[in-house]
Structure 1
Amino acid sequence: MKNNYNSRIKIIGVFILTMFTFYSYSQRKSIRIIDTKTEQGIADIYFKYNGEEGFSDENGNIVLELTAEAELFLSHLQYGKLVFKNSEVEQFANDGTLRLTESVAFLPVTVVAVHPTAGDKRKLEFSAQNKLAHDAGSLLEAVPSISSIRKSGAYGFDPVLRGFKYDQINLVLDGSQTASAACPNRMDPAASQIPINMIAEAEVQKGPHSLRYGNAFGGTINFKSSAPAFSEKTKAVGRLGTSYESNGNIFRTEGVAGVSGAKTDFRVFGAYSSGKDYTDGDGVTIPAAFNRLNWGGKFGVKLSNTQQLGLLVSNNIAKDVDFPALPMDLREDNTWLVNASHKAIFYDKVLSSWNTSLYGTMVDHLMDNYDKVLDPRKTDAITDAETRNYGGRSELRFDFKKGFLYLGADYRFESADGYRTRTMLMGPMAGKVFTDNVWQDAEVNRAGAFGEWHITQPGFKFVISGRMDYNSAKANNPDPRFKNIYSDLEPTHVHPSLSFGGTRLFNEKMSLGLWMGMATRSPGIAERYINQFPIGLDPYEMLGNPDLDPEKNNQLDLVYRYQSAKTNLHVNVFTSVLRDYISSEIREDLEPAMATSPGVRQFVNIKKAFIAGFEIGWSQQLTKQLLHDFNVVYTYGENQDIDEALPEIPPMEFSYRLSGSFVDGKVQPELFFRHALKQGRVATSYGETETPAFSVVDAKVSWLINNVFSATGGVQNIFDKAYYEHLSRSVRNAEARPIYSPGRSFYVTLTIHFL
């Protein structure tokens, strides 16, 4: 009996031990996968573990049945493919958290954010307050290396990146969509057509070092719209914001409303802004009236955990906008943007994703001089123009053990047409009407194939990027005067672009990168076909030139980074050796179309030009509550053919920001100081004049009242300084006074946030 009893005890003990062991390995555990920097959960991470597979939910959670000797496989486009041993999985399960760091290649990307923090890849992230802005060009000025050409006090800011401008910058929406200014004077640059309140972030890639999104001659600005946010339970989402600015009586409002579900995400958005004339620091009134309405919708469909469809439709309407630096004002600009996309992800294959998008952009523009004060008024003029952009891109990504590869192709079609009608009011020609063929119904077709290979080695990261472009152009309705000057109106170019660079990672804190790029850019429509219309820095009529050769940029970037828990230092030194740079020269043998013009300038190639400069950014966490950052940027440009400065190069600038975070991050004050040095290096042959130095100080306080309500109040130009930017054009009057920036202005913003 005693032996039987002991045997039973042993059997029960073994059973309990076995059950305990089984339970310890078979219990289901929840692990939340979060981003190391943002501390936010990462949705839609594919996982495979002991025969189970699935995706993390919207909060980044996965549930595993722990088993001995099983490995955890994770896959995500932003974080790569990772394998964790059983011991690591057990630790994650005990902690309840698995932290991942986004894969980066240390490319020369902008180093600025709304609330700067130490990080590798820095982006301009749009907060709820930024979404109230009516012009993306003004927002981009937060990037130290970007300035704006201003022909109006409040609208149509045209970005300049390191001295590169217009078609030298590749500005896209969601990596593909483009918009072309229908206005010959670029009252409606591509940046002004971006639907700001549906943009999540803007990535500024400096130089010709990433060629995936098009011909990045001087750099790429990629605006990324908000991704669909699917949720397990159907729920209503929305946001409403409004703001008022005292100097100029600027009123802005924006909102988003929609429904998010497990398979669909639908949102409608709208924004309206209006303003009047403002006063500068000297009390002078600057014409700056504008009205802008933007509305549209974004629709996402989750076909499965591996496939999504997306559709973005946006309509932008600007009316009655003052452009004191131009001979006309904007009467109406009506733009439609349509973008359809398909995304497929393959988690456990070498081919990891396939993204395809198709888009169309239609711009209709009307401008006139009816509100211009002219004494005497000799002519009434009106210009009706339109541009059309169509295209698409398809891109494959392949993941390997030590890197990943992008391969793809893209196509862009761009056309411009429009006429200026002049009615003579005085003299012997009074009553006569003249029609000028401004755009000549011109078009450009661009087709390209590209590849970008990211290679990871111990202590090193390399990127090889290249593309081949085919570019053809023609004028479907050439003006007789234009045909008499040129024999060939249908140029065709085939040109390559290539970049190679790498980063040496000395340790977790310090790295040094060297990037070499060669990009070639074919001339744009205005450079080829504008037909004697004043679109430059001076009032000369510009004449396009289809005989232009493509520009060539040979650029070198040296990037140093030091990053610790409380300090981030970034130094970027760059130089560009330019060949066949597109500029212009006066043609004494050509008569202007209008007697009021001093003459005609023709677009030409100059053999040699040079751009160089540096950017330094330093941010430091002073205390738990205080952060400060300092930036200095400088660009030098030289026309080596005539030993003169390149036109429209901004001066050296310094900026300093001190920001705080109090009451658990709910109260965030900020003080901002900016100083621009005198710009004495000017292109006198273009009528460019020197700009005096200036300093300006801004301040604001943001208050997160609760999870729904937030408010911001501030003052711009606290000391009411009278100043103007070097890239601001001059008012077209007898004084030719530059467009001064606004004097002191108070503003307040209120946001109701349900998203």
Structure 2
Amino acid sequence: MRKIFYNSGIRMAYVLVLLVVVHTAYSQEKIIKIADKKTELGIADVHYQYDNIRGFSDKEGNIVLSFTEGAQLFLSHLQYGKVAFSANEVETFVEKGVLELQQSSTYLPATVVLVHPTAGDKRKMKFTVQNKLAHDAGNLLESVPSISTIRKSGAYGFDPVLRGFKYDQINLVLDGSQTASAACPNRMDPAASQIPINMVTEAEVLKGPHSLRYGNAFGGTINFKSSAPDFKEKSTPVGRLGTSYESNGNIFRTEGVAGVSGSKVDFRMFGAYSTGDDYTDGDGMDIAARFNRLNWGGKVGVKISQTQNVGVLVSNNIAKDVDFPALPMDLREDNTWLVNASHSAVFYDKALSSWNTSVYGTMVDHLMDNYDKVLDPRMVDAITDAETRNYGGRTELRFDFNKSYLYAGADYRFESADGYRERTMLMGPMAGKVLSDNVWQDAEIKRTGLFGEWHIAQPGFQFVVSGRLTINSSKANNPDPRFEEIYSGLKSSQVHPSLSVGGTRLFNENISLGLWAGMATRSPGIAERYINQFPIGLDPYEMLGNPDLDPEINNQLDLVFRYQTVKTNININVFTSVLRDYISSEIREDLQPAMNTSPGVRQFVNIKKALMTGFEANWTQQYNTFLSHDLGLVYTHGQNQQLDEPLPEIPPMEFHYHLMGNFVEGKVKPEIKFRHAMKQDRIATSYGENETPAFSVVDAKVSWMMSRVFNATAGVQNLFDEAYYEHLARSVRGAGARPIYSPGRSFYVTLTISFL
């Protein structure tokens, strides 16, 4: 009997010990790494809720759990969505130590074009360290298919043209909201020239009137995104320094970043300086291209909680003594301040997932004169002092639902322009007299908008509905008497809607087809309404604003085909844009120009109907681990159907080819680029436009990553010293006007040091 009780006691003791061991094993805290299923990298800032305990994954993607039987695990992340796991699944994760997440089709980044319901066609241009040395963002954008630039200078102020849309037809913003307006009536300082490039990480190009979140995207949106805060566990100094030299034009560039990043605060100072002189084209002719540009500023990000950040960006751009051979004056000084403050918050317990708000101010002061122009005879000295001001704000909420998400918000923009031209007469009966011209008439425009964008995911289909309602009001606070005599009223108030509906059919994981229909309405800009007889167009005619203009309407269809595998990506986008009340101009024989040297006056008017249509085709292929290539074909056809002639300033068909190498474990990367532009003989003769011959250009470079810190690049632009000019390049003013030819052969070298 004692033996039986003894054996039973032993058995009971073993059972108790076993239960204690098991309980201890499961009650101990376990580390689980939350990782991306594809990259196997840890995912930071994943919100989790487990048995009434909440928290966030750390920088490596780790969370700490005490296993509780029967408890579910809830995860939430903006890119990976909201996911719930059963108790059995949690037990498996505890044993493995890893939990893998796959990015939800609703939250995939825009670069994954097959399964992200992008509003229309969307492209991203990542800014490399070499890009950050550039002094003009417009020039950088030319590497994006379907973007060309209007050039009035050989080296500065390149004005983007997207699919034939230009100026105010393109919505160009910084961080989704901030805008800048050219103070120069001739747009020496377009919005792209004011972008602080070394503060920017990427440019997002949204084609067509299909994504209306960032403003009234009439022809498209270009959204420059500044660097986001990079918080670190311990305070760490960060920095970057780069410099480059280009032989043709004696161009020197340098840029740098210095700051400290900690767990709560990320502070960085930025600076860049570029200078250049005249360059030589392929014919051996010297082109006036002197420029000096300084940019400096800072950005601070503060993590006020695990779910909220605030940030402030300040940037000052200064350009001095810039040659504009295609214009009657040169830029003497352009001083721009950009200031914005932002607040962002994320939420995890409700449908509301994020709330982002920003306010901004942009102040541009511009001075230009003709003192350095070679004029024979010199009849007048002229100087223009002008300024623009932009103030505004934007707030946006994002709601996440089961199979869809919704953006909803409001924005406000105030834009004003003022300035005078002074002319000192040097010859004739008026010699010695000083005349003053009221260029901008202290004009202003206010825009208040409400917008929404709904993304819906269904099996095999994805849909996007985007809409905007804008209230637009404008007036001239200091009208010129001559201007008042022409028009009965100078104030305008308009309400106009914009709407886009589209979707993508996913046939399988490789093939998709999207169709997008959009209607956008754009009220005229300040120049189109209030410019007071100033030569700002393609020809030397003085342009006269028209406050009676109707809004122009773009009805556009985009058909987007995509094929994507691991090594191949094919994109074809065909678009047609039917334009109503398209804003153009016509010669007014009954009006006298302000200057005797002008051939006459053009007045902005509406064209009843115009048409733009075209396509972009692109094929990217990874041959093997060492070689890849990219080729594309782009074309836009524009027609003024009222006058039955081509629309002006439409770039020709272009072919691009880019061959890239990757050697020595990615440390050595040679590249060669080929671009061929067809002859452009579809021209608007009524605007004095001339045909442009075809040309071919080859560029080559080699990048060498010497270490994680040091990087060097050497290359040559226009390898074969081709003599050519772009169709959108303006002609040098004066007798025997010659287009501004692009630089001939030019060698360059770039060195960078980065501790970011």
Q: Secondary structure at the match of 1:428?
A: coil
1:340 matched residue in structure 2:
341
2:508 matched residue in structure 1:
507
Q: CA shift at 1:301, angstroms?
A: 1.1
- Answer yes or no: is 1:51 the counterpart of 2:52: yes
Whether the 8 Å CA contact 1:58–1:230 is kept in 2: the answer is: no
Q: Secondary structure at the match of 2:148?
A: strand
Paired amino acid for 1:746: F
Alignment of 1:392-403 (within 5 A): 392-403=393-404
1:114 matched residue in structure 2:
none
Paired amino acid for 1:555: Q
- Answer yes or no: is 1:354 the counterpart of 2:355: yes
Whether the 8 Å CA contact 2:106–2:403 is kept in 1: the answer is: no
Q: CA shift at 1:3, angstroms?
A: 2.8
- Answer yes or no: is 1:211 the counterpart of 2:220: no
2:171 matched residue in structure 1:
170
- From the superposition, tell whether residues 641 and 76 of structure 1 become closer, same or farther in structure 2 (CA, over 3 Å): same
User: What is the CA–CA distance in structure 2 between the aligned matches of 1:36 and 1:682, rounded to whole Å?
Assistant: 53
- Answer yes or no: is 1:320 the counterpart of 2:321: yes
1:298 matched residue in structure 2:
299
1:116 matched residue in structure 2:
none
User: What is the CA–CA distance in structure 2 between the aligned matches of 1:380 and 1:238, rounded to whole Å?
Assistant: 47
- From the superposition, tell whether residues 513 and 263 of structure 1 become closer, same or farther in structure 2 (CA, over 3 Å): same
Whether the 8 Å CA contact 2:80–2:107 is kept in 1: the answer is: no
1:277 matched residue in structure 2:
278
Q: CA shift at 1:397, angstroms?
A: 1.1
Q: CA shift at 1:629, angstroms?
A: 1.0
Q: Secondary structure at the match of 1:262?
A: coil
Paired amino acid for 1:294: N
Corresponding residue to 2:103 among 96, 101, 104: 101
Whether the 8 Å CA contact 1:587–1:601 is kept in 2: the answer is: yes
Deviations 1:325-346 (A, max 9, x none): 1010000000000101111111
Alignment of 1:649-728 (within 5 A): 649-728=650-729
Q: Secondary structure at the match of 2:429?
A: helix
Q: CA shift at 1:80, angstroms?
A: 2.5
User: What is the CA–CA distance in structure 2 between the aligned matches of 1:598 and 1:121, rounded to whole Å?
Assistant: 43
1:562 matched residue in structure 2:
563
- From the superposition, tell whether residues 81 and 598 of structure 1 become closer, same or farther in structure 2 (CA, over 3 Å): same
2:474 matched residue in structure 1:
473
Q: Secondary structure at the match of 2:140?
A: helix
Alignment of 1:612-651 (within 5 A): 612-651=613-652
TM, length-normalised to structure 2? 0.96
Q: CA shift at 1:15, angstroms?
A: 3.9
Deviations 1:351-376 (A, max 9, x none): 11111111000000000001111111
Q: CA shift at 1:52, angstroms?
A: 2.8
- From the superposition, tell whether residues 38 and 710 of structure 1 become closer, same or farther in structure 2 (CA, over 3 Å): farther
Whether the 8 Å CA contact 2:411–2:450 is kept in 1: the answer is: yes
- From the superposition, tell whether residues 90 and 108 of structure 1 become closer, same or farther in structure 2 (CA, over 3 Å): closer
Deviations 1:156-177 (A, max 9, x none): 0100001100000000111110
User: What is the CA–CA distance in structure 2 between the aligned matches of 1:78 and 1:691, rounded to whole Å?
Assistant: 47
Whether the 8 Å CA contact 2:634–2:655 is kept in 1: the answer is: yes
Give unmatched runs, 5+ long, in structure 1. Answer: 112-119
- From the superposition, tell whether residues 550 and 284 of structure 1 become closer, same or farther in structure 2 (CA, over 3 Å): same
- From the superposition, tell whether residues 436 and 376 of structure 1 become closer, same or farther in structure 2 (CA, over 3 Å): same
TM, length-normalised to structure 1? 0.96
User: What is the CA–CA distance in structure 2 between the aligned matches of 1:90 and 1:360, rounded to whole Å?
Assistant: 53
Deviations 1:4-51 (A, max 9, x none): 443344334434543554466455444444556777654322222333
Whether the 8 Å CA contact 1:242–1:253 is kept in 2: the answer is: yes
User: What is the CA–CA distance in structure 2 between the aligned matches of 1:107 and 1:639, rounded to whole Å?
Assistant: 38
State the Cα RMSD in Å: 2.0
Paired amino acid for 2:690: T
Whether the 8 Å CA contact 1:110–1:205 is kept in 2: the answer is: no
Q: CA shift at 1:426, angstroms?
A: 1.1
Paired amino acid for 2:128: S
Whether the 8 Å CA contact 2:444–2:475 is kept in 1: the answer is: yes
Alignment of 1:251-650 (within 5 A): 251-650=252-651
Whether the 8 Å CA contact 1:617–1:631 is kept in 2: the answer is: yes
Whether the 8 Å CA contact 2:709–2:755 is kept in 1: the answer is: yes
Whether the 8 Å CA contact 2:106–2:405 is kept in 1: the answer is: no
Q: CA shift at 1:667, angstroms?
A: 1.3
Q: CA shift at 1:661, angstroms?
A: 1.4
Q: CA shift at 1:82, angstroms?
A: 2.6
Farther off after superposition, 184-193 or 92-101: 92-101
- From the superposition, tell whether residues 294 and 702 of structure 1 become closer, same or farther in structure 2 (CA, over 3 Å): same
Farther off after superposition, 73-82 or 599-608: 73-82
Q: CA shift at 1:91, angstroms?
A: 6.0
Q: CA shift at 1:706, angstroms?
A: 1.1
Q: CA shift at 1:297, angstroms?
A: 0.6
Paired amino acid for 1:631: G
Whether the 8 Å CA contact 2:276–2:292 is kept in 1: the answer is: yes
Whether the 8 Å CA contact 1:711–1:749 is kept in 2: the answer is: yes
Q: CA shift at 1:103, angstroms?
A: 4.9
1:184 matched residue in structure 2:
185
Deviations 1:387-444 (A, max 9, x none): 0000001111111111111111110000000000011111121111111000000000
Whether the 8 Å CA contact 2:592–2:601 is kept in 1: the answer is: yes
Whether the 8 Å CA contact 2:79–2:108 is kept in 1: the answer is: no
Whether the 8 Å CA contact 2:80–2:101 is kept in 1: the answer is: no
1:236 matched residue in structure 2:
237
Farther off after superposition, 51-60 or 286-295: 51-60
Paired amino acid for 1:246: S
Q: Secondary structure at the match of 1:573?
A: strand
User: What is the CA–CA distance in structure 1 between the aligned matches of 2:438 and 2:337, rounded to whole Å?
Assistant: 24
User: What is the CA–CA distance in structure 2 between the aligned matches of 1:657 and 1:23, rounded to whole Å?
Assistant: 61
- From the superposition, tell whether residues 95 and 691 of structure 1 become closer, same or farther in structure 2 (CA, over 3 Å): farther
User: What is the CA–CA distance in structure 2 between the aligned matches of 1:26 and 1:518, rounded to whole Å?
Assistant: 60
Farther off after superposition, 717-726 or 602-611: 717-726
Q: CA shift at 1:736, angstroms?
A: 1.1
User: What is the CA–CA distance in structure 1 between the aligned matches of 2:53 and 2:16, rounded to whole Å?
Assistant: 27
User: What is the CA–CA distance in structure 2 between the aligned matches of 1:20 and 1:207, rounded to whole Å?
Assistant: 64
User: What is the CA–CA distance in structure 2 between the aligned matches of 1:43 and 1:60, rounded to whole Å?
Assistant: 5
Paired amino acid for 2:739: P
Whether the 8 Å CA contact 2:35–2:98 is kept in 1: the answer is: no
Whether the 8 Å CA contact 1:174–1:222 is kept in 2: the answer is: yes
User: What is the CA–CA distance in structure 2 between the aligned matches of 1:458 and 1:697, rounded to whole Å?
Assistant: 45
Give unmatched runs, 5+ long, in structure 2. Answer: 114-120
Q: CA shift at 1:563, angstroms?
A: 1.1
Identity %: 76
Q: CA shift at 1:53, angstroms?
A: 1.9
Paired amino acid for 1:343: S
Q: CA shift at 1:62, angstroms?
A: 3.0
Whether the 8 Å CA contact 1:105–1:461 is kept in 2: the answer is: no
Farther off after superposition, 355-364 or 1-10: 1-10
User: What is the CA–CA distance in structure 1 between the aligned matches of 2:496 and 2:461, rounded to whole Å?
Assistant: 30
Paired amino acid for 1:618: W
Paired amino acid for 2:462: K
Q: Secondary structure at the match of 2:733?
A: coil
Give the total of aligned pairs.
747
Paired amino acid for 1:680: D
Alignment of 1:67-216 (within 5 A): 67-85=68-86, 94=96, 96=98, 98-101=100-103, 103=105, 122-216=123-217
Paired amino acid for 2:276: G
Q: Secondary structure at the match of 2:747?
A: strand
Q: CA shift at 1:141, angstroms?
A: 0.8
Q: CA shift at 1:213, angstroms?
A: 0.7
User: What is the CA–CA distance in structure 2 between the aligned matches of 1:673 and 1:95, rounded to whole Å?
Assistant: 50
User: What is the CA–CA distance in structure 1 between the aligned matches of 2:430 and 2:409, rounded to whole Å?
Assistant: 57
- From the superposition, tell whether residues 302 and 646 of structure 1 become closer, same or farther in structure 2 (CA, over 3 Å): same
Paired amino acid for 2:103: T
User: What is the CA–CA distance in structure 1 between the aligned matches of 2:138 and 2:35, rounded to whole Å?
Assistant: 33
Whether the 8 Å CA contact 2:81–2:107 is kept in 1: the answer is: no
Paired amino acid for 1:79: Y
